Amino acid sequence: MVCLGNICRSPLAEGILHHYITTHQLDWVVDSAGTGGWHAGEPPDPRSIAVARRHGIDLSSQKARKIEATDFANFDLIVAMDTSNYRDLLSLAPQPALRAKVRLLLDFLHPGKNESVPDPYWDDNAFEPVFQLIAAGIKALAENLTATAAPPHQPMP
């Protein structure tokens, strides 16, 4: 899950997907990062922590980091919060073939519309609607991935 600073939107996306993974007992791994490194090492924005907590999701153990070339190999999907992050991620992909892993979060919810999760950094009142938008995007992404995933191994009778 990737945004610009890795302190507002992508920590929410990580926390919401982590909660989904836990409640659905999935073996997926999720992490988040920023295309920029200005906030590396910092916890998420207190307003993201607060809105997540109101919805029963704990972001307090997260720390911001900048995306690395190895992330493109280590993860199956690299999910951008907005179209600017999406373009930046395409140019950061260390090999052209890895660009296929880069997706826009809201494309899972409204395919083909090129919709962005707006940056809430300058507006305290934006955090609740941003939470709702990310939660809807994560639900659509998770349902999409669950539908296409191989069924669990069944032992022979």
* Given the residues 9, 45, 82, 107, the one annotated as active site: 9
Is 119 a residue of the active site?
yes
| Residues of the shown chain interacting with ligand 4NP in the complex, contacts defined by CB under 6 A | 3-9, 38, 119, 121
- Which residues have a Cβ under 8 Å from the Cβ of 27 and sit 6 or more positions away? none
Is 82 a residue of the active site?
no
- Name the residue nearer to ligand 4NP (CB basis): 18 or 39: 39
- Angle ∠(113,1,136) on CA atoms, nearest 5: 50
Q: In this structure, what token pair is assigned to residue 122?
A: 């300058």
Give the chain's length. 157
Minimal distance in Å, beta carbon 154 to ligand 4NP? 42
- Name the residue nearer to ligand 4NP (CB basis): 38 or 143: 38
Sign of the alpha-carbon dihedral angle for 116, 133, 68, 50: positive
Residue positions annotated with a catalytic role:
3, 9, 119
